Structure 1
């Protein structure tokens, strides 16, 4: 098959490109900025229908692996901006893909959509604009694609790994904290985690099957203190991670939310309700069974 990977120079996109080529598929890459291995420069926020159809022509499938920062505070109302960043580019892309006759697609989504289905009592789409837009992204991508173009949505948790100088967008602050002499503190609860390589393998499988499923992806389920302890050990600063009282976590997050509200700003994941998410066990089943050790060490290398 011939596959177009949008965001092909990013952490996940680069691994998708590698896995597809290892399996003998032809791959074309699209990115916003010039990087080695990028075939087409295109800003998905402003690309016209004609520009999208031109890069999609002759392909069998497309992978959307562009990244969005859900924690960037924006001035209220924030939903229109998050739609422009998350939903609209995917709708335009899959509309063009349908018109060009593509037969399969993959969207890199978020495991928050998995928990929106699994834990409706958390009211995630009502409380968090980012999660609402991720749900809209999956639904509207499929509507734009139509019945002849199945679209698989990979629901991704924390993703470890490296692609050149590309790292997870959350890794920098955690790396500095783990290497410091500061005490390590974590809330109760936990999260699913995976590697960029594992995501790429699942994406390639979905393309080859022509899947239209929602596919949650995880290698391991970790408590927050286990995850932070793994990072500290990887950088060569192993130490005990202490658990924070749930009341303290909720209070600090609500205070942060109130401070942002005073400035009429809000991130995509609302800190006033984030405690309900952080203190839950955001686990995925079944797991891939792949080891995460190598990806943790890639993301957080030990100092020489």
Structure 2
């Protein structure tokens, strides 16, 4: 069975200690923590500013033996200040994270690559990798776009595919399958309806609010997973806001873990 990490967006209203404990109960090996706020309507948890929450997070990791796989996410914009991100990187390293997720929001691709390169150097000094996630509503919308930018940024900058964004951007399975190991270190998994066309509103709503558990939508996840290395870690990112409100975060995470393991097992038979 693959190494499974629970992405924070799946239950973003749970703080890190609660997410970690729920992930353990749900059978996950690790979590991704959203330490930086991404949108005005969703929380981030800057642990370097909250000593008590950091202490509770450490305690939850110690008690459950769940690990931190990644921290997120850095919006690479024209104004991104790498030095200002050092406390974020320091906490990620302290918690044992492996990767830092970044997102492309600078229209000047040369400048974005330079920023990514500098961030990658700072991260590597702390034992962290940098990965670039691509989105169909940004300039870096496909896996090919992300690979070009990552290559320009430096030899250790990775590419992070998410099955939702991969499908909705029309990305190439051939490019995905050909990504070298130093570029492809983990992937996100979820499902969703497949529609004839998408606008930015529908793209963002699915991405941030309502996805489907693997096997419950129409994305060709079998082909997506077949293009990935067999042992590649998977980040399970399945926000289901209505279900969260109905059954709570702990039950939603347990349901998510059971569903993902069942789906992956079904592909092996």
How does the TM-score come out when normalised to structure 2? 0.37
Q: Which structure has the bigger radius of gyration?
A: 1
How does the TM-score come out when normalised to structure 1? 0.34
Would you tell me which structure has more strand in proportion to its own residues? 1
